[in-house]
Structure 1
Amino acid sequence: MASTLKLLVFDLDGTLIDSSVDLCNSVNATLEHLGKPTLPPAVIASYIGDGASMLVRRALGDPEGDIHDEQYVTEALTFFLNYYRVHKLDFTTVYPGVIEAIETIRAASPNLLMAVLTNKPVNPSRDICAHFGLNRFFFQNYGGNSFHTKKPDPHGLKTLIAEASTLAGETITAAQTLMIGDSDVDILTARNCGARSLGCTFGLAPHTLAAAQPDALADSPAAWPKAIASLMHPPA
């Protein structure tokens, strides 16, 4: 049927991996470097999801980009990225059941293409996926600095759909694409593209999912295969 899924696009942080400790430690190391008070991990975790620059700005108390000393922000961001590059795998783990779930999905639908679209900078994203052996599942991994825009802008997702169509040798539509993520950013990315969405309630920002209204929910990676099967073959 025309609505059968042909492309899965996964968010990274809070969906495939739990990176919260390393991100929080890197933010607090940045604040210490700048002589500013550190923040509770729960506060920093609430800032994750819109890319490194916004994470740092929020930690500096500048969520709207009102700090006019861009050199100061650039120094903070540079320190954060350099620190995180070294420490990105200190405590980061793949969520339990992720690899098994993706293997189950792949076994059930061998031709289903998969990719990663994250707002994390692309090099750490690719390095982390390679470290944990996740990269073998994905034909592409794009980050927040891969394009001129970030999620929830649909440009990255549209690019992946076009690339998947080339690989498949047929046109894959947005309606045949599923975005899987733990926050409203991912759900809105799908909606802005005309794709479907699966919200992960176990991630870093599940409190944002209700308002975004994903097409389906999963309480754990183990629930992905069933949720995806139901979206691939909806009831008549």
Structure 2
Amino acid sequence: MTELNKLDINDKIQKVKEVNVTRGHPENIINISTDARYNSSVMFNPKTLGQNASQAFSLAVETNTDRKYILACAVQNKLCWTGAWLRGKGMEVDCLGGHAECTANLSPAALFSEYEMGKDIGIQLGPQDVLVRYVTEDNVAQGAKGVDDAMRALHPLWKVERLADAVHLGQSQFHASNRAVYSDEMFHSKTKEEKKELQMVFGNDLKSRCSMIVIKRYSPSMTETWRK
């Protein structure tokens, strides 16, 4: 299954390179978008202490074409059913390679790292003769730095630039507006609950206006790039 997945990803990379050649762009420069997911419904930040997640996944999706092919996947896993079964039988075994068929690659007490997952993605793409110019991610991620370090290991003069995801940018503006301290005259309300509700409405309006400006400002150039 792993070998089939590698062959499929290699095929997708070749297809993206063919599109680059058709458009007259450098063949091996592929831009990607990354984001991490955790097996937890209450965890949103990899730096949060006391994480209740045991697995993290980060995908690299190419943004050169409309197909949005997945070109790499990084996994951080704290689970090992074999190790748990052996310990249940009274055997003293440690995971992270301490026994045969260990599936864990991260200790239970370690923090998840989007930087390390980004570096893993860069290590996977490097041997495929892929150079990543731009990495689009959310406002708290460090995956782009990991991809940059992996690319520089093979090409010291290469530089990977990080782009902010417009969706997460709008969410950040909304949360920043809700956390901001406004004067008493800003919102005319009789109760704290009413003031909080008005502040949320204001934050939503601010997010929508800023998002509209970003879309109107950058959509024409993005469409022009896609048509090339």
Same fold (TM over 0.5): no
Bin for the TM-score computed over the shorter chain: under 0.3
TM-score (norm 1): 0.27
Work out which of the two has the higher radius of gyration on C-alpha atoms and give 1 or 2: 2
Higher relative contact order (CA 8 A, sep 6+): 1
TM-score (norm 2): 0.27
